Amino acid sequence: IWLPPAAVQQVSLKATIIVIMWCILLLAGLAAAAASDPYKEKRFEYIVKNQKLHLGYLEKKLHAIEEEFNELSADVDRKTIRHLKARISNLEENHCTDDQSECPGDVPECVDDLLFCDGEKDCRDGSDEDDDTCSLNITHVGSSYTGLATWTSCEDLPPDHAVVTITAAHRRDYFPSRVWLRGTLSYEIDEKDHVIHTIQLRGYYNFGKREIALGPLPGQKPGYGVICDFNLGDDDHADCKIVVPSSLFVCAHFNAARY
Amino acid sequence: MKIVLVLLALVAAAMADHHCGTLAGLKVKSEWGRAYGSGHDREAFAQAIWRATFAQAPESRDLFKRVHGEDTSHPEFIAHAERVLGGLDIAINTLDQPETLKEELDHLQHQHEGRKIPDNYFDAFKTSILHVVAAKLGRCWDREAWDHCIEHIEKGIQGH
């Protein structure tokens, strides 16, 4: 058929419009079909369910590992390590003289214990003035240290409890390297009737040696003295000895703990 | 006779209580021997005494400018501190020989006169010695005896 060019153009335009219309209809139909497809939703749920199951499986597996881990022995607490390190360093050689103590820092160095905690740094790293070194924790009034005293001399007593208690502490600001102390030593002399002997003592705490040294009060008959070395790595445990004040002869020994 | 002896003993005890008597002197002499020590210990002992003295009377440092009193760890001050203890050592060791002690104290007095040292500096120095000796000896030391004998020596140096 011959149609004039304008008409041809019109026909092709119509056809194009129809095709476009069809396409739009088709898309709309497809979209409607997709929105209402029940299977697709189920498939989606299926996948989610599977993922959850997998997570559950992993959790269970992890739990089993955790349980296995818990069966292994726990980490040693820091206190035990501190005690251990202290016991080792007590056994290690130390080149200080009787009146000197080792600086607590990394570099082994001996400084006279009269110069510890006096406000002037005498160790090269200043560790003789550290807060830890100069802690007053040990000498707090009311601190008590107790242990089972085993007499090896001086008294005919079976092993029994001994208690050292700090009753007063005083530190002179012009001579801070000692804390002057008053205290008591009590020990049971009759286990059945609980007869307890208590002696008044005085002395001091030595920061460098970490040692409490107590002797009889002036004017009192010299009974016993006490020396406690806090060389076990903390402020709560000490190696204590009951001694004859004049000679420091050891009468009894007890491993003391603070209570 | 017995009564006289008892009386004498009482008098001796009373005298020993108030000044540096023979027994007190011997006690201090022997205890000083333990405290004074030697070597590094002696240096630290002197150091502790001077730190405690300057802590009580900070203005007294001015008297020691010539020997670097501003820094007790300065070698010149360490030397000075040891010299002082050396003099004290002579004095304490002759507590039982009054004539010799008198000579030494006169000598020391001569070295100190003209320096205008207030009495309270001597008191501070004595207090330091008493504390450091107590810290050093730890036990078995007679505070009274030390108090009286150091005072006796200081009086001799002060000249009054």
Residue at B74 is within a domain: yes
Q: Are A154 and A234 within one domain?
A: yes
Kindly report the number of other CB atoms within 10 A of residue A113's CB atom. 25
High-pLDDT (> 70) share of chain A, %: 93
Please give the pLDDT value at position B84.
94
Both A66 and A13 in one domain: the answer is no
Instruction: Please tell me the predicted confidence (pLDDT) of residue A148.
Output: 95
Q: Of B77, B81, B80, B56, which Cα lies nearest the Cα of B68? A: B77
* Digit-coded pLDDT (tens) for A79-134: 999 999 999 988 988 889 989 999 998 888 999 999 999 999 999 999 999 999 99
Tell me the sheet residues that pair with A151: A252
- Tokens at residue B22, please? 């023979």
In a mutational test of the A interface, the residue from B139, B142, B143 whose CB has the highest number of chain A CBs within 10 Å is B139
- Do A24 and A56 belong to one domain? no
Residue A172 is part of a domain; what is its CATH number? 2.40.128.620
Say if the Cβ atoms of B140 and A218 lie within 8 Å.
no
Block residue for tokens 């076990």: A232
In a domain, B104, yes or no: yes
pLDDT per position as a tens digit, B42-55: 999 999 999 999 99
| Partner residue opposite A225 with nearest CB, options B56, B72, B139 | B139
Q: In terms of DSSP H, where are the helices of chain B? A: 2-18, 22-36, 39-56, 75-93, 98-112, 119-137, 143-158
Tokens representing A123 are: 């160790």
| Cα(A178)–Cα(A134) distance, integer angstroms | 10
Map residue A210 onto helix, strand or coil.
coil
Query: Domain of A62?
Result: 46-74
Chain A residues at the B interface, defined by Cβ less than 8 Å, are: 97, 99-100, 111-112, 114-115, 118, 120, 172-175, 177-178, 203-204, 206, 213, 215, 218, 225, 245-246, 248
How far from A148 is each of A45, A253, A257, CA to CA, in Å? 71, 8, 10
Residue B86 lies in a domain: yes
B12 in a structural domain = no
* CB-CB under 8 Å, A120 with B72: yes
Residues of chain A found within 8 Å of residue B139, distances taken between Cβ atoms: 203, 213, 215, 225, 245-246, 248
In this structure, the answer to whether residues A61 and A168 fall within a common structural domain is no
The alpha-carbon gap from A171 to the nearest alpha carbon of chain B, in Å, equals 11
Neighbours of B146 (CB within 10 A): 24
pTM greater than the 0.90 cutoff = no
**Residue A100 to residue B48: CA distance in whole angstroms:** 13
| Per-residue pLDDT tens digits for B62-97 | 999 999 999 999 999 999 999 999 999 999 999 999
